[in-house]
A and B are shown apart, each in its own frame.
Chain A
Amino acid sequence: MTMHEVEENPLDVYLRADRMPHIWCSGCGLGIVTGAFIRAIQKSKVDPKLVSVVAGIGCTGRIPGYLNFDTFHTTHGRAIPFAIGLKIAKPELHVFVISGDGDLFAIGGNHIIHAARRNVNITVICVNNFNYGMTGGQVGPTTPEDARTTTTPYGNIEPAFNLPYVMASAGAVYVARWTTLQPRKILDSILEAMQKDGFSFIEIISPCPTAYGRRNAQRDAMETMKFYQYKTKVKNGADPKEGDISLTGEILTGKFVDIQKTTYMDRVKMLIDKANKKGA
């Protein structure tokens, strides 16, 4: 084998290369999400100084630790309110929340629906692997019915959340869902979400071969990806109502909502103007 000199990756500036290797299992989709995210930042040409990434707890919560921006690893489920504080106090920041489905929709469920209702200008990327990966694969709010996890040894009896539907009805101005088999779509979607003024939400369905896949007839990550290949249906503009995910059924992906509404920051500005006119 001939020795090659490895060139420095142009994306290294966006990563804390001294923190590598990362802690994720082989076959995990989080690397794809991270890659797509930093490429989106690169492509958008926003000042990296003004990018802030907030996360909660879990495997996905570790993403900010590897990103070379201002990054915040908060308590379980509280990434969204932290991000709201950050954005409102310093509106010039581009605030992203990257966290898992358990973090954002179980313990943080209340926060995310209220953030969408307020239409705070942040972008939320929710990585959904259908279970609590870091704690060892317990059932979560997005685990499909009948799926086996460590805490549902006879199959899950609870219906799962349809995340895009929840977000669309809570008032998000941009809602999309992709799988990690569509990294370029993820990139485009993150770029689109950045261009939206308001609360934007992207769900990324990601394989968890270690904790979830192998308990549910997907022996390795490649099988999960194959499953995504055959079961994914891209339907932009579809009603997110149809987006329920079952154990073996189709996965509806695409951009579901893309609208414009008055944002929270606009309203804050209007309020301050109003209070001052009255005061004067």
Chain B
Amino acid sequence: MATTYIIKDDEKTRKWKTPHGELYIIKDRCKGCGFCIEFCPKKVLVESKEFNAKGYHPPELQEDETKKCINCGFCAMICPEFAIFSEADAQSKDVGQIPEKEIPIPESPKIPEIKKARDVLTGEHFWNGDVAAAEGAIAAGCKFFAGYPITPSTEVAEHIAERMPQIGGVYVQMEDEIASIAAVLGAAWAGVKAMTATSGPGFSLMQENIGLGAMTETPCLIINVQRGGPSTGLPTLVAQSDVMQAKWGTHGDHEIIALAPNSPQECFDLTIECFNLAYKYRTPVVLLMDESVGHMTERVVVPEKSKIKLVDRKKPKGEPGKVKIYEADEDLVPPMPYAGEGYNIHMTGLTHDERGYPSTIAETQERMIKRICDKIRVHADEIVRYEEFMTEDAEVVVVAYGITSRVVKRAVLMAREKGIKAGMLRLITIWPFPEKKVRELAKKVKNFLVVEINYGQIVLEVERCACPSKVSFLGKMGGAVHTPEEVLKKMMEVCK
């Protein structure tokens, strides 16, 4: 039967039901914290005079009859260095080792591979923009979606919730948008193409982690189906007022890539393009749709799987353990290791050096910020895409993007009928801003008109680049798309 010891203490009576047997002290492990000596209920341990290998005084038992160790094992229990073992812990004589015991660690069930996954629905479809974007993501190989429902982006989530299990992917409806984007970043580091879809207010919530994505160079896709704002604004009505938020929403210097489709077909195509850009440049990419494009239903042609060009990450070439995970190649983009590959990644949102270690040295910060901005600025020509319409001889060029570009196209044709030499520059890439093209046009065109569904955002960028040409602006805030007549009227004013 186990003996019960009762030790009288000044403050409290403690009961020790089982003696733990003789003590073993591994002197060279001791770091001299003194916990064992301080907390010994019988005060039998003292600091020895000799040093151990680390230069500390390890504890030893006091030879005193009035104070006798009762083998309560408390010193062994509290030693943070595990330098004291009681007999119960160390059945073998080799007390330096933690006792061996098989520990069954459960393995999580793997996500089953789907043999006949229909991830590319080749053929002609009648889809709205949201559904087309969802299908585009699936065609691009996206296997993880984390999101939170918000109008007008819900169709993306709804469609993906149905499709993901069919292709062996996962749809998670997170508790909020912040969690969604954080989970997307996590999945991206685990090596899966991941995305989320949201709208204005949700996009605002995501901003901090979009910054984390930019800082840690995590490829992922964020679809923002824009709606009227600020705040809850116009949940079901169109706007194009998140373009500046997409670029400047998060804090600090960074660059982002954002594309704006103007038809369901483009929603499909550009979503694939977004993933390609994300993986090529190791950065979060935003697909800036607007409510009208998202809810517009049109014919979408899905090509064959073999015809879809996909870009994957650059793999690290060196051995695991020696690779610096943020050491960039000549194109300023570092190869990306994934979790579980043995590279011992340290991913941090803190200013970090090439190894990923936090640093507060000014040069490190400058080198890093320069690189994450320059990798996009240097490659701007490859990223930037736009569409020109009748600009060859134009006297007035209307700059538009998203749904607005369709209205402007009609207005340009109407203007031409009236003898006004009008043209359109349609931005497909919003960020990085197609600066070069606007500057080039500004050399021959005197008048620019920017038409967008907000109170002046991209117009600022055009003004910056189109100098010395005159830049006019036609905004709209009512949650509706411009009519061609409105644009025509403004064009005539501008041309006077």
Contact B187 A182 (CB under 8 A): no
Q: Is the CB of B11 within 8 A of A92?
A: no
- Is A229 engaged at the interface, CB distance under 8 Å to the other chain? yes
Asked if B112 contacts A269 (CB within 8 A), the reply is yes
Distance in angstroms between the alpha carbons of A233 and B79 in the assembled complex: 19
> Is B358 among interface residues, defined by CB-CB distance under 8 A?
yes
User: Given the interface contacts A50-B340, A276-B166, does A89 sit within 8 Å of B186 by beta carbon?
Assistant: yes
Asked whether, in the complex, the Cβ of B349 is within 8 Å of the Cβ of A85, the reply is no
- Answer yes or no: A151 CB below 8 A from chain B CBs: no
User: Is B103 touching A87 in the complex (CB atoms < 8 A)?
Assistant: no
Residues of chain A within 8 A of B495, CB atoms compared? none
Residues of B within 8 A of A (CB): 11-12, 28, 34-35, 38-39, 51-55, 76-82, 98, 101, 103-112, 114, 116, 118, 143-144, 146, 165-166, 168, 170, 172, 174-176, 178-180, 182-192, 194, 208-209, 211-212, 320, 338-350, 357-358
> Are A275 and B108 in contact, CB atoms less than 8 angstroms apart?
no
A9 smallest CB distance to B (angstroms): 9
Contact assessment for B103 and A191 in the assembled complex, using a CB-CB cutoff below 8 Å: yes
A215 within 8 A of B: no
For window 1-54 of A, CB contacts with B under 8 Å fall at: 1-2, 4-7, 16, 19, 31-32, 35-36, 39, 42-46, 49-50, 52, 54
B183 touches A229 (CB 8 A): no
Contacts of A111 in B (CB 8 A): 175, 179
Bound: A42/B103 CA distance, A: 11
Q: Report if A269-B109 is in contact (Cβ < 8 Å); known contacts: A4-B51, A65-B346, A110-B176.
A: yes
Q: Are A72 and B347 in contact, with the CB atoms below 8 A? A: yes
Chain A: which residue is nearest B80 at the CB level? A32
Residue of A nearest to B168 (CB): A272
Q: Are B146 and A85 in contact (CB under 8 A)?
A: yes
In the complex with contacts A49-B340, A74-B182, A197-B98 CB distance below 8 A: no
Residues of A within 8 A of B55 (CB): 1, 4
B165 touching A276 by the CB < 8 A rule? yes
**How distant is the Cα of A254 from the Cα of B112 in the complex, in angstroms?**
38
Q: In whole angstroms, what is the CA distance A52 to B338 when docked?
A: 11
CA of A121 to CA of B28 in the docked complex: distance in angstroms? 38
Cβ of A145 under 8 Å from chain B: no
Interface residue stretch chosen among A75-83, A128-136, A157-165: A75-83
The answer to whether B110 touches A69, judged by C-beta atoms less than 8 angstroms apart, is: no
Q: Are A272 and B77 in touch, CB under 8 angstroms?
A: no
Inter-chain contact A19/B357, CB cutoff 8 Å? yes
Question: Chain A interface secondary structure, helix, strand, loop or mixed?
Answer: helix
Q: What are 11 pairs between A and B in contact, CB < 8 Å?
A: A16-B346, A19-B357, A43-B98, A50-B340, A81-B182, A85-B186, A85-B187, A89-B192, A94-B105, A268-B109, A275-B165
**Distance (Å) between the CB of B170 and the closest chain A CB?**
5
Q: Does A265 lie within 8 Å of B108, measured CB to CB? A: yes
Q: Are A73 and B53 in contact (CB under 8 A)?
A: no
Say yes or no: A6-B53 contact (C-beta < 8 A), given A82-B186, A85-B194.
yes
> Bound state CA distance, A268 and B111, in angstroms?
7
Assess the A110–B345 pair: CB atoms within 8 A: no
User: Please, how many angstroms separate the alpha-carbon atoms of A82 and B320 in the complex?
Assistant: 23
Give which listed residue, A5, A87, A184, A225, contacts B108 with CB less than 8 A: A87
Query: What are the residues of chain A within 8 A of B211 when measuring CB–CB?
Result: 75
Q: A70–B345 contact, CB under 8 A?
A: yes
- A194 interface contact, C-beta 8 A: yes
In the complex, what distance in Å separates the CA atom of A265 from the CA atom of B342? 23
A92→B108 contact, CB < 8 A: yes
With both beta carbons as reference points, the residue of chain A lying nearest to B39 in the complex is identified as: A229
Could you say which of B34, B320, B349 contacts A75, with CB atoms under 8 Å apart?
Answer: B349
Check if A230 is an interface residue, CB within 8 A of chain B.
yes
B78 touches A89 (CB 8 A): no
Interface size on A, residues (CB 8 A): 81
Q: Of A54, A72, A83, which is in contact with the most chain B CB atoms at under 10 Å from its CB?
A: A72
Closest to A4 in B: B53
Are A71 and B347 neighbours in the complex by a CB distance under 8 Å? yes
Would you call A247 an interface residue if the criterion is a C-beta within 8 Å of the partner chain's C-beta atoms?
no
Do A75 and B339 form a contact, CB below 8 Å, given A42-B98, A89-B144? Answer: no
CB of A59 within 8 Å of the partner chain? no
Q: Mark A84-109, 1 if CB is under 8 A from B, else 0.
A: 11111111111000000000000000
Among A32, A114, A222, A226, which residue has its beta carbon within 8 angstroms of that of B175?
Answer: A114
The proximity string for A residues 183-201 relative to B, scoring 1 for CB distances below 8 Å and 0 otherwise, is 1110000010011110000
Complex: chain B residue closest to A69, CB-CB: B344
Report the minimal beta-carbon distance from A47 to chain B, rounded to whole angstroms. Answer: 9
Once A75-B182, A182-B77 are accepted as A-B contacts, the answer to whether A88 and B103 lie under 8 Å apart by CB is no
Chain B nearest Cβ from A278, distance in angstroms: 9
- List 10 additional A-B contacts (Cβ < 8 Å) besides A78-B182, A85-B190: A19-B357, A70-B340, A70-B345, A73-B348, A81-B186, A91-B110, A110-B176, A197-B106, A226-B38, A272-B168
Q: Cβ of B109 and Cβ of A89 under 8 Å apart?
A: no
Q: What's the least CB distance linking B137 to chain A, in Å?
A: 15
Closest to A71 in B: B346
Tell me which residues across on chain A come within 8 A of B346, comparing CB atoms: 16, 64-65, 71-73
A261 → chain B, closest Cβ, in Å? 13
B residues near A263, Cβ cutoff 8 Å: 108
Contact B51 A82 (CB under 8 A): no
3 closest residue pairs by CB, A with B: A85-B186, A275-B165, A85-B183
A239 interface residue per 8 A CB criterion:
no
A92-B107 in contact (CB<8A): yes
Q: Which residue in chain A gives the minimum CB-CB distance to B169? A: A272
Q: Closest Cβ of chain B: how far from A195's Cβ, in Å?
A: 6
Contact A71 B108 (CB under 8 A): no
CB-CB under 8 A from A54, the residues of chain B are 186
Inside 8 A of A91's CB, which chain B residues have their CB?
Answer: 107-111
